[in-house]
């Protein structure tokens, strides 16, 4: 395989809330309606922004995280995208240097230029100083320029432009790529864990994306295909073969507005290992489908507690499945669904599945988040945590998540009968052998055998 050239840009920012998602989505929607193929990625673990970006681009949106997914995985996804796309857009996570690895780390690894997105409301020359400081904090990546969001007037824009040019001899060149005025018609609705899910507001979101496309087309960003730097993408190293221990197995997967935090990469891996995936709704279906294993992913069960509790036939169906000792994986929202009770946002307690003792309640503020490794009996699987609830009176954990750079124990991991439950969201491709064993225990190898035949974190 040969190297491929494709225009690419990472949309980064000094902090969250600067408009990265809106601008990335607007760019993708504008290019798409002009007949261009846009492949969009998201730095780091995220389920909500990719839903918006997928609707905007009309293409799947994958996470790119050098720790959770692995360098070779990221390289494979970028290389595949470069073969079909007119441009690759990557939305950064939080601030440009936040996290380890960060958006800047991804830019440096693959030589992809960054565009700084900054909300400049309430500042003028200072915006230039911040942009230049961020661009020159490290010397292993290039900033293509500044996108000044919420810019008030032409005079405001000129003050920022002048500030960017004050000391060109001491800094890399910093063009002002665009100034974008505030427009409430494009604002994306939010709730306690981030943006509202795209599948909940499909029609409204389409209107906002159309408005965002108009907003972008009325700016210099409409010429992004002509101005974006072409990046050389290389093929990844040869990948290890996948285990086929799920051949002939059916995995039932909860999927509706209450349970939707599902990486496409996880589904692809299960299917590549031979599994058949069958989806069902704990909210509206009477029973789960016939299956050999069950996956209850994360989502927003706290917003649908009454309906989940009232669906008694579904609860009995899942309880009967659990009673057979078959494998069940419950992640975050799925874990809450497995407890005896879950309190909604109004602190009203509702009956859940009762597969394991305990109850959970939402917190008014704060939360837990971060990257962690789940040390499962089947092997270590990388993932992340992001939640606003607290669980109480749960059984003793069999293990706790391991943080990459902090000694404090991470999320508790529970195992009961065939159930594995935790607040952690797992990224399945980080250890296909372990995932294979999780959903089909008869395929499990001993840890000693796994140590001899360790599968790379970069598989798939």
The distance of Cα 252 from the centroid of its chain, to the nearest Å, equals 22
Is residue 194 a contact partner of residue 43, using CB atoms and an 8 Å limit? no
φ, ψ dihedrals at 243, nearest 5°: -70, 150
């962690």: which residue's tokens? Answer: 372
Whether 332 sits among the annotated catalytic residues: the reply is yes
Pairwise CA distance, residues 90 & 28, whole Å: 11
- From the list 74, 151, 332, 338, the catalytic residue is 332
Upstream peptide bond of 101 is cis (omega within 30 degrees of 0): yes
- Rg for the chain, CA atoms, rounded: 23
Instruction: Give burial (CB, 10 Å; 0-12/13-18/19+) of 456.
Output: middle
Termini Cα distance of the chain: 17
What whole-number distance in Å separates Cα of residue 243 and Cα of residue 5? 33
Question: What angle do helix axes 48-57 and 202-217 make, rounded to 10 degrees?
Answer: 70
β partners of residue 387:
368
| Residues with Cβ within 8 Å of residue 454, at least 6 apart in sequence | none
Torsions phi, psi for 321 (to 5 deg): -65, -45
Please list the active-site residues: 332
């Amino acid at each position: 395989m040969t190297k491929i050239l494709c225009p690419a840009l990472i949309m980064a920012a000094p902090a969250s809330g600067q408009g990265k998602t809106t601008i990335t989505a607007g760019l993708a929607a504008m290019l798409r309606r002009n007949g261009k193929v846009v492949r969009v990625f998201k730095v780091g673990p995220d389920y909500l922004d990719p839903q918006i970006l997928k609707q905007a681009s009309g293409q799947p949106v994958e996470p790119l995280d050098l720790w959770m997914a692995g360098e070779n995985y990221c390289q494979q996804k970028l290389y595949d995208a470069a073969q079909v796309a007119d441009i690759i857009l990557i939305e950064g996570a939080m601030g440009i240097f936040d996290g380890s690895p960060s958006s800047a780390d991804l830019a440096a690894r693959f030589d992809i230029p960054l565009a700084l997105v900054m909300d400049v409301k309430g500042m003028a020359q200072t915006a230039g100083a911040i942009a230049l400081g961020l661009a020159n904090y490290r010397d292993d990546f290039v900033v293509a320029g500044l996108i000044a969001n919420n810019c008030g007037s032409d005079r405001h824009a000129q003050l920022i432009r002048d500030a960017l040019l004050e000391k060109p001899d001491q800094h890399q060149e910093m063009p002002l790529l665009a100034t974008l005025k505030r427009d409430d018609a494009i604002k994306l609705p939010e709730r306690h864990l981030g943006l509202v899910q795209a599948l909940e507001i499909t029609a409204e979101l389409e209107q906002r994306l159309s408005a965002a496309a108009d907003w972008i087309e009325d700016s210099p960003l409409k010429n992004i295909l002509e101005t974006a730097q072409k990046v050389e993408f290389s093929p990844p190293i040869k990948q290890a073969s996948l285990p086929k221990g799920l051949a002939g197995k059916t995995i039932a997967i909860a999927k509706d507005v209450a349970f939707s935090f599902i990486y496409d990469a996880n589904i692809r891996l299960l299917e590549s290992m031979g599994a058949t995936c069958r989806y069902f709704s704990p909210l509206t279906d009477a029973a789960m489908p016939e299956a050999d294993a069950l996956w209850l992913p994360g989502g927003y069960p706290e917003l649908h507690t009454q309906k989940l509790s009232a669906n008694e036939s579904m609860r009995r169906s899942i309880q009967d499945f659990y009673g057979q000792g078959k494998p069940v994986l419950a992640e975050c929202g799925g874990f809450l669904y497995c407890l005896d009770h879950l309190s909604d946002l109004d602190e009203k307690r509702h009956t859940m599945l009762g597969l394991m003792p305990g109850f959970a309640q939402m917190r008014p503020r704060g939360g837990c988040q971060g990257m962690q490794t789940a040390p499962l009996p089947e092997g270590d699987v990388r993932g992340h945590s992001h939640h606003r609830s607290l669980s109480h009176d749960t059984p003793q954990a069999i293990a706790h998540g391991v943080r990459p750079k902090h000694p404090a124990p991470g999320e508790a991991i529970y195992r009961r009968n065939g159930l594995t439950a935790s607040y952690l969201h797992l990224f399945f491709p980080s250890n296909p052998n372990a995932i294979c064993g999780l959903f089909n225990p008869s395929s499990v190898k001993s840890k000693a055998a796994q140590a001899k035949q360790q599968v790379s974190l970069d598989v798939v």
